[in-house]
Amino acid sequence: MSRFIAPVLALLISALCFSGSAGAEEQELPPEKWPLTVSATVKDLLTRMSAESKATVKDTKKEDLILFHHGWGTGIRNYYGLWRGNQKLIQSACGKPCHPDDASMIIIEAVWAELQK
């Protein structure tokens, strides 16, 4: 995948997963609605992704998933509260406290792995 195309695809996937008609307030889930496990987060993400976005992620080489860190990864970190205290999801992702960036990459990899099935 071209290093110039991948960031555009990451932003597209982020927009498709986290867009809504109500505006910015939909860009973050309230804490009482946060998924607390990677599997619940993956399930939610997959329901939000278009067929085209799923195909893009599925066709990406695992070692190239880092290209989604900005854009889609930012959307994951913001929407699922990784910067706002969703420690249970961070613990589920990393098995211990870790940086939200690391947790979001684990979630991206889990989405990719689910799409490989």
Mean pLDDT by 10 residues, the chain (117 residues): 60 62 62 97 96 94 94 95 97 98 98 98
What confidence score (pLDDT) does residue 25 get?
A: 44
Q: Tell me if 52 is assigned to some domain.
A: yes
> What is the pLDDT at residue 110?
98
Domain that holds residue 77: 5-13+32-116
The count of structural domains within the chain is: 1
Residue 24 lies in a domain: no
Let me know if residue 27 belongs to a domain.
no
pLDDT (0 to 100) of residue 21: 38
Q: Specify if 23 maps to a domain.
A: no
Domain assignment of residue 19, yes or no: no
Does residue 83 belong to any structural domain of this protein? yes
Alpha-carbon dihedral angle through residues 16, 114, 52, 13, given to the nearest 10 degrees: 30
pLDDT score, position 27: 80
pLDDT at residue 23, rounded to an integer: 41
Distance CA 41, CA 7 (A): 22
